[in-house]
């Protein structure tokens, strides 16, 4: 197994530890969750660049890399639901999961017909926006748990949290619509 694929598997293994750290109240648990999530997110960047640079792209990696990303971000959104972080977080998580199921299904249909749907710029923007939002939310929660935050600062964190989460949700919808439009030939209700 090559190094990029090992990094992808490490990201998958890190996911439950990240979720446990996020939702289990112990001193500095948000910081621990933030560190795990950040390191796991960096592996996503490294494994892709390494695979392309050293010609280590495998079918296994093409399948597992996006799955690892989805597992990590889904764990975060589920944790936010558990902790009731973010206005409308259930709807945000629903949007994210709906898009992921839709595009994963589309990819499965297209691969059955011999075509691989590669990630495009919108998919990458979606992933970056989700990971950035998650990092921001975890950092904000940590700051509020450690420092006394007067009402005004707490309101700022809450408004900013809602904004970054909803921006990532909007980019998630846009990227899903772009993928469907670009690959609508694979969606035929008659077949």
Domain locations in the chain as residue ranges: 3-186
Residues 6+ apart with CB under 8 A from 157: 140, 143, 144, 149
Cα–Cα distance measured from residue 159 to residue 149, given in angstroms and rounded to the nearest whole number: 14
Average pLDDT, the chain: 89
pLDDT interval class at 60 (50, 70, 90) = confident
> What are the distances in angstroms from CA 90 to CA 14, 86, 98, 106, 117?
24, 9, 12, 24, 29
Sign of dihedral through CA atoms 52, 58, 132, 127?
positive
| Inter-helix orientation angle 151-182/89-112, to 10° | 20
Q: Which residue has the tokens 């008659």?
A: 190
**CATH entry 3.40.50.720 includes domain 3-186:** no
- Considering only residues 185 and 190, tell me which one the structure prediction assigns the higher pLDDT: 185
Enter the tokens of residue 73.
Answer: 């971000």
pLDDT interval class at 59 (50, 70, 90) = confident
- Considering only residues 165 and 4, tell me which one the structure prediction assigns the higher pLDDT: 165
Q: Is 188 helix (H, G, I), strand (E, B) or coil?
A: coil
H/E stretch holding 31? helix 29-53
pLDDT interval class at 191 (50, 70, 90) = low
């Amino acid at each position: 197994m090559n190094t990029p694929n090992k990094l992808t598997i490490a990201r998958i293994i890190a996911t439950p530890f990240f979720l446990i750290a996020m939702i289990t109240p112990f001193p500095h648990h948000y910081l621990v969750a933030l560190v795990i999530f950040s390191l796991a997110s960096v592996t996503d960047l490294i494994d892709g660049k390494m695979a392309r640079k050293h010609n280590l792209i495998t079918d296994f990696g093409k399948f597992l890399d996006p799955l690892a990303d989805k597992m990590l971000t889904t764990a975060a959104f589920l944790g936010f639901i558990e902790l009731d972080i973010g206005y409308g977080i259930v709807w945000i998580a629903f949007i994210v999961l709906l898009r992921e199921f839709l595009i994963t299904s589309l990819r499965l249909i297209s691969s059955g017909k011999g075509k691989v749907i590669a990630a495009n710029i919108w998919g990458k923007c979606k992933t970056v926006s989700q990971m950035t939002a998650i990092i921001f939310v975890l950092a904000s929660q940590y700051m509020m748990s450690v420092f006394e935050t007067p009402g005004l600062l707490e309101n700022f964190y809450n408004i900013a949290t809602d904004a970054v989460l909803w921006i990532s949700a909007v980019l998630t919808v846009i990227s899903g619509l772009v993928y469907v439009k670009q690959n609508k030939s694979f969606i035929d209700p008659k077949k």
